């Protein structure tokens, strides 16, 4: 049975796969992207192009004003982006305080206003160690709270919560997805840097699946 759902869509490979997963399940999808003051908007541009291509209703919401309250992340402040793997301590600088709770709250409100039954987002097991708001206990509690917070219950659904990026990519490849339509790098240059945590994890996923990443890299 088709349901209307909201997908938090950043333009990265995880949310790109989640978006198509929701479509494959037969849902009526509303895509929602946020400009929260990240270093570049390349992901948002990619997201917009994908939604136009598929005729998916897409909202890009400017919430940059919240950065008056949030600080200390290399994704939003003038702090150097660390290079290396997410398992390294330096990667904690990429945590944006309370980001997913804020984005999910806004997405839930949008879902209620659009009479949608669920909000999908791309948390996965590879993020659990570094991002508290991608851990199973957080997702479960947000699901509980979301179903209580309004007269209309909205589920919070992370379809890849218990698997890593390798498995997400494997599922996307089975769906025949074109990952040249995604952007993962924390830097917004013409080519991906290949060195930041997002690039390293992405390249590892493609290598694990025996497939070449279709986006260009500087190194």
Instruction: Report pLDDT for 126.
Output: 61
Residue 9 known to bind ligand: yes
Residue 77 known to bind ligand: no
For range 143-166, the mean pLDDT? 95
Residue 148 known to bind ligand: no
Residue 55 known to bind ligand: no
Residue 206 known to bind ligand: no
Quick check: 115 pLDDT over 90?
Answer: yes
Instruction: Report pLDDT for 32.
Output: 98
User: For the structural domain made of 4-208, what CATH number should be given?
Assistant: 3.40.50.620
Q: Calculate the average pLDDT of the chain.
A: 86
Share of the chain above pLDDT 90, in %: 64
Quick check: 217 pLDDT over 60?
Answer: yes
Residue 19 known to bind ligand: yes
Identify the bridge partners of residue 192 per DSSP, sorted by sequence position.
217
9 and 19 Cβ atoms separated by less than 8 Å? yes
User: Between these two residues, 21 and 65, which has the higher pLDDT value?
Assistant: 21
Residue 18 known to bind ligand: yes
Domain boundaries, given as residue ranges, for the chain = 4-208
Residue 15 known to bind ligand: yes
**Is 0.75 surpassed by the pTM of this model?**
yes
53 and 31 Cβ atoms separated by less than 8 Å? no
Residue 29 known to bind ligand: no
Quick check: 207 pLDDT over 70?
Answer: yes
pLDDT band at 85 (very low <50, low <70, confident <90, very high): very low
Residue 134 known to bind ligand: no
Instruction: Report pLDDT for 70.
Output: 65
Q: How far apart are CA 219 and CA 136, in angstroms?
A: 34
Distance of CA 192 to the CA centre of its chain: 17
Residue 10 known to bind ligand: yes
DSSP labels for the chain?
Answer: ---EEEEE--SSHHHHHHHHHHHHTT-EEEEEEEE-S-S--HHHHHHHHHHHHHT--EEEEE-GGGGGT----TTTSS-PPPBS-TTSGGGGGGPPTTHHHHHHHHHHHHHHHTT-SEEE----GGGTTT-GGGSHHHHHHHHHHHHHHSSS--EEE-TTTTS-HHHHHHHHHHTT--GGG----SS-SSSB-S-BHHHHHHHHHHHHTT---SS-B--
For range 92-112, the mean pLDDT? 81
141 and 103 Cβ atoms separated by less than 8 Å? no
């Amino acid at each position: 049975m088709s349901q209307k759902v909201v997908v938090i869509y950043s333009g990265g490979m995880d949310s790109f796969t989640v978006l198509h997963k929701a479509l494959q399940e037969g849902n009526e999808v509303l895509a929602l992207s946020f400009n929260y003051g990240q270093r570049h908007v390349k992901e948002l541009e990619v997201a917009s192009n994908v939604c136009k291509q598929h005729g998916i209703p897409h909202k890009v919401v400017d919430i940059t004003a919240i950065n008056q309250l949030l600080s200390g992340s290399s994704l939003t402040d003038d702090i150097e982006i660390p290079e290396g793997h997410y398992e390294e301590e330096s990667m904690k600088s990429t945590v944006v305080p309370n980001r997913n709770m804020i984005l999910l709250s806004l997405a839930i409100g949008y879902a209620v206003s659009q009479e949608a039954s669920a909000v999908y987002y791309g948390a996965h097991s590879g993020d659990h160690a570094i991002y508290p708001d991608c851990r199973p206990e957080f997702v479960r509690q947000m699901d509980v709270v979301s179903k209580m917070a309004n007269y209309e219950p909205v589920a919070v659904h992370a379809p890849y919560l218990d698997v890593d990026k390798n498995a997400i990519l494997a599922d996307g490849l089975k769906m025949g997805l074109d990952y040249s339509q995604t952007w993962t790098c924390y830097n917004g240059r013409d080519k991906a840097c290949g060195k930041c945590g997002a690039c390293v994890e992405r390249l590892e996923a493609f290598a694990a699946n025996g497939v070449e990443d279709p986006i260009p890299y500087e190194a």
